[in-house]
Amino acid sequence: MKGGARFWSLSWPPLLVVCLLLIIWQVAVGLFSIPPYMLPSPVQVLQALVDEPSRLLAATGRTAMAMLVGFACSAIGGIVLGSCLTWVPLARRGVYPLTLILQMVPLVAIAPMLVVWFGWGIPSVIAAACIVSIFPVIASTLDGLQSVDPGLRELFRIYGAGKMRTWWMLGFPAALPNIFTGLRIAAGLAVIGAIVGEFVGSYGGDQAPLGSVITSALKQTRTDVVFAAIALAAALGFALFGLVNLLGWWLLRRWHTSVH
Amino acid sequence: MEAGLAPGVELVGVSKRFDDSIDVVDRVDLTIPAGKFVVLLGPTGCGKTTILRMVGGLECPDEGEIRFTQSAPRTAFCFQEPRLLPWRNVRRNVGLPLELARHHELDEVVNDVLELVELTDAAERMPAALSGGMKMRTSLARALVSSPDLLLLDEPFGALDEVTRFRLDEDVARLVRGRDTTSLMVTHSISEAVFLADEVIVLSPRPAQVVERFQVDFGERLPQWRATPEFARLTSQVYEALRAGMGEPV
């Protein structure tokens, strides 16, 4: 099957479901006379997007930047930390449970502290996006590096490869399929982290990102704008997930069964 | 990479235990002459692979000593399974030892070896797209690319069909014999042992001890060698020694 045909065959079932849900939503709002402040109809949400495109797109851009930087930090930090934990068993036993605790602490609870530590605006939002998305990357890197074929490790030992070269030429490529599983999860979490971070630590007004747009629109009971912002945030997460998937496919396409 | 002088290897009273109780190798004395192709033959689980791994430095003997006539010989392994990196094509798998040794003329040396093992046309293929025989040939090429002083072969063709196995044995004979390399091979196959070896060492069931040694004084190992009465006679003698070592009536 050619690329376009394959893409279409994969895309049409979820698109059909989304279209059906939107139609049901639109009909339900009209049928039960649900007031817009309770639940706006899809057409009203679309109208909000059309009415304020520049404000919403600028907000999306700001959130996208924080999400991308946060995700990049969690990707690099997670791979580095996961690798270090593999090299030092004592650190793994000491630090790994702490990263688990970090995962268990609700982000909403620590987000105000991030504002105290990193200040208002972008830095605390980036920190929130990074903190919430780093754990899957650490866990998947650790998993991938620990499951490297012992026979291949032995081969590198025979040829006198040092720790760094073994990591770069064996551990890292062997762990890539696991790492990409972690990165896919992290991509979805990064946008959640960014939005929650913006709820607590972002500026409003002209500099407002999507999280601030949502909170200010809620105060004005502009639920159509709230839903429009949510849709844009979801689109951001979806786009990042797609990018990660594409990169994973490109890197693994020649050798790993997961992309065949 | 320049080849050095092939080392002789001597095992003196070497023993190896696993889990502190199971004797796998028991006070083995063994000499592997420099530049010779020696094959260890014995029943399954007798400790052949353990001896090979100890010679290669992958296991330490619990007792005894392994001496080399040359200090720090350049060692290469060819394992039972090809152990190829799935994300590297044939060329980059073969070049791995040189890359790890930061060799400068990597492409040139790799191309030469690929030609020797007749893999030039498959050089850009990934391991998943290779047959079992081609994977083992890639593994053999990787072992040869660094011009090892000591080549250790751990039943590399055991999982292949008979025809492919014969073909690869002929490749090994062509590529390894005549080089300045000491080779130690482990196998279950009597005909493979007699075809390749300068000397066949028959081992007893676990714990491994030397039962008998056979010198194979035959020149170039061409396929026709398998059809000679001398080959049949030696094969039969080795078989009898193997059965005697297992305590079976001959």
Q: Which tokens in the block code for residue B248?
A: 């079976």
For residue A120, give every residue at least 6 positions away whose Cβ sits within 8 Å of its Cβ, in sequence order, or none. Answer: A201, A202, A203
Query: What is the reported pLDDT for B121?
Result: 95
Query: What is the reported pLDDT for A131?
Result: 92
Query: What is the reported pLDDT for B3?
Result: 44
Q: Write out the H or E segment, with its range, that includes residue B16.
A: strand B9-18
> How many angstroms separate the Cα of A69 from the Cα of each of A58, A63, B245?
17, 10, 69
Number of residues in chain B: 250
- Report DSSP state, residue B208: B
- pLDDT category of residue A2 using cuts at 50, 70 and 90: low
Q: What topology does CATH give the domain B13-73+149-245?
A: Rossmann fold (3.40.50)
Pairwise CA distance, residues A72 & B185, whole Å? 50
Put simply, whether B180 touches A (Cβ < 8 Å) is no
Q: Starting from the edge strand earliest in sequence, which strands make up the sheet with B63-68, in order? A: B22-32, B9-18, B63-68
**Which domain covers residue A176, as residue numbers?**
39-259
CA B215 vs. chain centroid, Å, equals 17
Contact check, Cβ <8 Å, B75/A158: yes
Instruction: Give the residue extent of every domain in chain B.
Output: 13-73+149-245, 87-148
Put simply, whether B101 touches A (Cβ < 8 Å) is yes
Q: At what angle do helices A89-104 and A122-146 cross, to 10 degrees?
A: 130
B-chain residues near A160 (CB < 8 A) = 100-101
In a domain, A173, yes or no: yes
- pLDDT category of residue A65 using cuts at 50, 70 and 90: very high
In a domain, A31, yes or no: no
Contact B27, B64 (CB under 8 A): yes
Contact check, Cβ <8 Å, B58/A157: yes
Contact check, Cβ <8 Å, A159/B101: yes
Domain count, chain A: 1
CA distance B213 to chain A (A): 29
DSSP-assigned letters across all residues of B172-229: HHHHHTTSS-EEEEEES-HHHHHHH-SEEEEEPSSSB-EEEEEE----S--GGGGGSH
Q: Which tokens in the block code for residue B48?
A: 């052949």
Mean pLDDT, chain B cut into blocks of 10 residues (250 residues total)? 69 86 84 93 89 93 92 90 96 95 86 92 95 93 93 90 88 85 93 94 87 88 89 94 78
Query: What is the reported pLDDT for A3?
Result: 65
In a domain, A190, yes or no: yes
Pairwise CA distance, residues A209 & A197, whole Å? 10
Put simply, whether B77 touches A (Cβ < 8 Å) is yes
Neighbours of A184 (CB within 10 A): 17
Contact check, Cβ <8 Å, A159/B79: no
Pairwise CA distance, residues A59 & A212, whole Å? 9
CA distance B169 to chain A (A): 22
Partners of B63 in the beta sheet? B15
pLDDT tens per residue, range A105-160? 888 888 889 999 998 889 999 999 999 999 999 999 999 999 999 999 999 999 98
Query: What is the reported pLDDT for A211?
Result: 94
Q: Note the ipTM here.
A: 0.86
DSSP E strands, chain A: none
Of B87, B100, B128, the CB nearest to A159: B100
Query: What is the reported pLDDT for B7?
Result: 85
Own/partner contacts of B218-222, CB < 8 Å, gap of 24 or more, are B220/B173, B220/B177, B221/B170, B221/B173, B221/B177, B221/B195, B221/B196, B222/B170
Higher pLDDT, A258 or A82: A82
Query: What is the reported pLDDT for B2?
Result: 43
Query: What is the reported pLDDT for A230?
Result: 95
- Report DSSP state, residue B221: -
Contact A193, A78 (CB under 8 A): no
Which residue's structure tokens are 């105060």?
Answer: A219
For residue B218, give every residue at least 6 positions away whose Cβ sits within 8 Å of its Cβ, in sequence order, or none. Answer: B225, B230, B231
> Can you give the CATH number for the domain in which A90 is found?
1.10.3720.10
Contact check, Cβ <8 Å, B58/A156: no
Of A152, A154, A256, the CB nearest to B85: A152
